[in-house]
Amino acid sequence: SAPVYDEERFPGKSAGHLGAMRSAAILLYAGVKDVRILNGGITSWEDAGYELSTEEVEPDPVDDFGAEIPGRPELMIDTPEAKEYLSASDAELVSVRSWPEFIGERSGYHYIEKKGRIPGAIFGNCGSDAYHMENYRNFDHTMREYQEVADTWIEEGLTPEKRLAFYCGTGWRGSEAFWNAYLMGWPKVSVYDGGWYEWSSDSHNPIEKGEPILD
């Protein structure tokens, strides 16, 4: 198995625990069959009374990964596939960003210039900004009960029967939302890996701003 965690002591206050979520999603995509995430990061380990070590662990190299890469290509989609999701009746592209990012008040990142959203994307409401996931976590930074997350998604028309691709700016927050769906057993979920960074970098791609007009 491949357990993954982040060393950020307060993962709810920075990108922190998102790094573990992102790494775990990539490992699963690459073909690692048994990927585990330490729920709540290193803080939860310490709170449970377990010891920490300062000894350096030398990796044990192998000659071959042992499988074709990627082993699970369906878990990551690119921009052409994201566009197909937007036009399909059985699929949704889910923007796991903050409301100010979604309506184009800010990009969320100092290295992403353009503001706005992908037209047709469903708001997945991460929390307050690009470095927080309050709406997907408990107060101790562990993952929320799955049913609470599912209930919120279902209100937005996101259901297990649909193909769902989660995205954010560069895949970190999208990966955390993906893990919620994956661990709930939703069978057709993925991460739009390039996210807003890739979409907004192409001037030919449409962008929307302002509050969406509801039908």
Out of 30, 168, 177, 181, the active site residue is: 168
Q: What are phi and psi of 141, to 5 degrees?
A: 75, 5
Tokens of 4: 């993954």
> Are 147 and 125 contacting, i.e. CB atoms less than 8 angstroms apart?
no
Closest CA to 4 of 12, 13, 28: 28
Q: Are 20 and 173 in contact (CB under 8 A)?
A: no
Q: Measured on CA atoms in the order 132, 133, 138, 140, is the torsion positive or negative? A: negative
Residue 168 designated active-site: yes
Active site residues: 168
